[in-house]
Amino acid sequence: MTRRLWLRIGLVAFVAAVSVFYLYPPRKTMNLGLDLQGGIHLVLGVDIDKALQIQTDRTAERVRSTLEAKGIAVQKAERRGNTEIQLQLAAPTTWADAQTVFEREFPSFEVKEADQSAGRLVLAMRQREIASQRESFVRQGLETIRNRVDQFGVAEPSIQQQGENRILVQLPGVQDPERAKALIGKTALLEFKLVDDRVDPAQAAGGAPLPPTAELLYERRVDPETKQERRIPIVVQKKPMLTGADVADAEVRLDQGTQPYVSLTLTPAGGKVFAQVTTDNVGRLMAIVLDGNVYSAPRIQERIPSGQAQITGSFTLEQARDLKIVLKAGALPAPVQILEERSVGPSLGADSIRKGIVSSAAAALAVVVFMLVYYRLSGLIADVALALNLLILMAALAGFHATLTLPGIAGVVLTIGMAVDTNILIFERIREELRSGKTVRAAIDSGFARAFRTVIDTHVTVLVSAAILYQFGTGPVKGFAVTLAIGLLASLFTAVFFTRLVFDLMYMRGRKVESISI
């Protein structure tokens, strides 16, 4: 045999060997999609406007307290729109002092409107600051969700940014999608707020006006016997004493061995503030607020210097554990909203796999038998080429860490039908050349050469479709596009290169060939 022929045999053997290498062991290398193994796919939208509002609200409170600490009385400090603060000084004479405070303490804001004689002005967040905040909201959200998922314990989660303000979360094999969703979607903004006892909460709930520094919240209490839920109004100071950012660690403990609660260890700085606040407010109530709901409002009995705090409430062990996770992982910088969800139970996934295997086998069997009957020995060669094609396809999926989805399996089945097209085009051409009176060798030569051009054209059109599908599609549809494209590319190698090699080995060497089984 010639050197060239050996090289070609070597190449086919090499490709087959590499494919087997990538596929072994199959259970470990094949990445199953969420629709096959069960799991949950979420697209979350980060509410950036809301986050900016929260940010601005906090700054407004800070402006008020900073000014007042400097002896500048403030009549009003409120958010306007998403990123502006409307400010009314009690006395216009303090104008110049106030300006100095803004410049020194709030560099991320600029004075937008000013009426010195009335002592009124509007602070606006700088554009540069808004842009960097937007970016950091999504990045922090991503980071926080990743932390929560890591602590929740999911094998091979995928958490990525999608577009400008969307986060894609994929959790394969999750058994309890509801719990996972609650865990991921919770903003988990923890605040410690002093209860404002100047106001009667019942009246406030009835619509009585509140002082500008106070707000009305509710505590939900479930009666352990009747399971009835009650909403108890509580008026608290707007300004939080501490937030979740001051929490260093959280743990689930059991009260008297039965009732779970979450024990918090504060950061050193947080612990200092907590000690000071508890010293100054012995006898008052401190509300523990999570996402705007009061969990509990215990009375401060004495100074707490240890930096330890507790969140109690009527929760189950599981709820306590999830609360611990979100507190440890930190709050989302902005509320998130579920824009899209696809969850598949594990039993349906197993069903789909079974049906996928049956379909693949049935399609392969039908096509293999057809090729054998219609093209006999050449059909057998095409069938071997098809087997090689599927081997390469599977290995490529494993090698690229692509995910096999249900539409992906459909792509495999379709590949079975399309891959033999190439051989049909070639074989029909060879038959035609034979009919026109060419010798076997001449017919094979011109059959392959002439069909090749058509084969390329037909491949390109489907590849164009697959490329657009990949660009456009979401998870499962992408999987379909990938398998289709790989299967088609592989068929160029198997149905053209490999088949030609076998033909060359069988008919092109040594003595004269009289007939061909095609």
Partner 1 sequence: MIQIFVNANYDFVGKRRWFYAASAGLMLLSLIWILFAGGLNYGIDFTGGALIQVRYDKPATVDLVRRGLDEIKLGAAVIQQFGDAQEYLIRLPQVAENPETLSKQVRDALAKAAGGKVEIRRLEFVGPQVGRDLQLQALYAVLAGMAGILIYVAFRFHFRDGVISVAAIAHDVIVTLGALSITHRELSLPVLAALLTIVGYSINDTIVVFDRIRESRGKGVRKGQTLAELVNAAMNQTLSRTLLTSFTTFIAAAVLLIFGGEVLRDFAFALVVGVVTGTYSSIAAASLVLDWETWSRARPRSSGKVPAKA
348 binds partner 1 (CB under 8 A): yes
Q: Are 48 and 334 in contact (CB under 8 A)?
A: yes
Q: Which of residues 20-49 bind partner 1 (CB under 8 A)?
A: 35, 43, 45
Quickly count helices (H) and strands (E) in the chain. Answer: 15, 19
Question: CA-CA distance, 204 to 209, in Å (whole number)?
Answer: 7
Q: Which of residues 182-211 bind partner 1 (CB under 8 A)?
A: 182, 185
| Interacting residue with partner 1 among 352, 389, 483, 494 (CB under 8 A) | 352
Shortest distance in whole angstroms from residue 396 CB to partner 1: 19
Query: Does residue 209 have a cis bond before it (omega within 30 degrees)?
Result: no
Q: Bridge-partner residues for 80, per DSSP?
A: 84
Q: Which of residues 448-467 bind partner 1 (CB under 8 A)?
A: 450, 453-454, 457-458, 460-467
CA quadruple 139, 143, 149, 152: dihedral positive or negative?
negative
Shortest distance in whole angstroms from residue 241 CB to partner 1: 30
Q: Which of residues 465-504 bind partner 1 (CB under 8 A)?
A: 465-469, 471-474, 476-477, 480-481, 484
Shortest distance in whole angstroms from residue 471 CB to partner 1: 8
Q: Are 121 and 111 in contact (CB under 8 A)?
A: yes
138 binds partner 1 (CB under 8 A): no
Amino acid at 140: Q
Amino acid at 146: R
Residue among 459, 455, 479, 454 nearest 469 (CA): 479
| Interacting residue with partner 1 among 1, 118, 131, 366 (CB under 8 A) | 366
- Closer CB to partner 1, 177 or 271, in the complex: 177
Q: Is 133 helix (H, G, I), strand (E, B) or coil?
A: helix
362 binds partner 1 (CB under 8 A): yes
Q: Which stretch binds partner 1 (CB under 8 A): 9-17, 324-332, 335-343, 504-512?
A: 335-343
Backbone angles phi, psi at 221, to 5 degrees: -125, 130
Q: Are 250 and 264 in contact (CB under 8 A)?
A: yes
Residues in the interface with partner 1 (CB under 8 A) total: 76
Shortest distance in whole angstroms from residue 6 CB to partner 1: 32
Token readout for 395 is 């290995």
Task: State how beta strands 158-162 and 229-237 pair.
Answer: unpaired
Shortest distance in whole angstroms from residue 318 CB to partner 1: 14
156 binds partner 1 (CB under 8 A): no
Q: Which of residues 392-421 bind partner 1 (CB under 8 A)?
A: 406-407, 410, 413-414, 416-418, 420-421
381 binds partner 1 (CB under 8 A): no
Site string for partner 1, 243-282 (x = CB under 8 A): ----------------------------------------
Q: Which stretch binds partner 1 (CB under 8 A): 202-210, 237-245, 281-289, 446-454?
A: 446-454
388 binds partner 1 (CB under 8 A): no
For every residue of 464-512, DSSP letters joined together read HHHHHHHHH--HHHHHHHHHHHHHHHHHIIIIIIIHHHHHHHHHSSSS-
Shortest distance in whole angstroms from residue 23 CB to partner 1: 22
Token readout for 512 is 């004269």
Shortest distance in whole angstroms from residue 363 CB to partner 1: 4
Shortest distance in whole angstroms from residue 517 CB to partner 1: 8
Q: Which of residues 283-312 bind partner 1 (CB under 8 A)?
A: none
For every residue of 368-410, DSSP letters joined together read HHHHHHHHHHHHHHHHHHHHHHHHHHHHHHHHTT-EE-HHHHH
| Interacting residue with partner 1 among 115, 135, 178, 200 (CB under 8 A) | 178
| Rg of the chain in Å (alpha carbons) | 35
Cβ neighbour number for residue 203 with a 10 Å cutoff: 13
Question: CA-CA distance, 67 to 34, in Å (whole number)?
Answer: 54
337 binds partner 1 (CB under 8 A): yes
| Interacting residue with partner 1 among 116, 245, 340, 387 (CB under 8 A) | 340
Shortest distance in whole angstroms from residue 433 CB to partner 1: 12
347 binds partner 1 (CB under 8 A): yes
Q: Are 137 and 131 in contact (CB under 8 A)?
A: no
| Interacting residue with partner 1 among 135, 197, 223, 351 (CB under 8 A) | 351
Q: Which stretch binds partner 1 (CB under 8 A): 108-116, 134-142, 179-187, 256-264?
A: 179-187
Q: Are 212 and 76 in contact (CB under 8 A)?
A: yes
Question: CA-CA distance, 274 to 310, in Å (whole number)?
Answer: 12
Site string for partner 1, 421-440 (x = CB under 8 A): x--xx--xx-xx--x-----
- Closer CB to partner 1, 68 or 178, in the complex: 178
- Closer CB to partner 1, 42 or 124, in the complex: 42
Shortest distance in whole angstroms from residue 282 CB to partner 1: 40
Backbone angles phi, psi at 310, to 5 degrees: -135, 145
Instruction: Give, for 361, the enclosing helix (H) or strand (E).
Output: helix 346-399
Amino acid at 256: Q
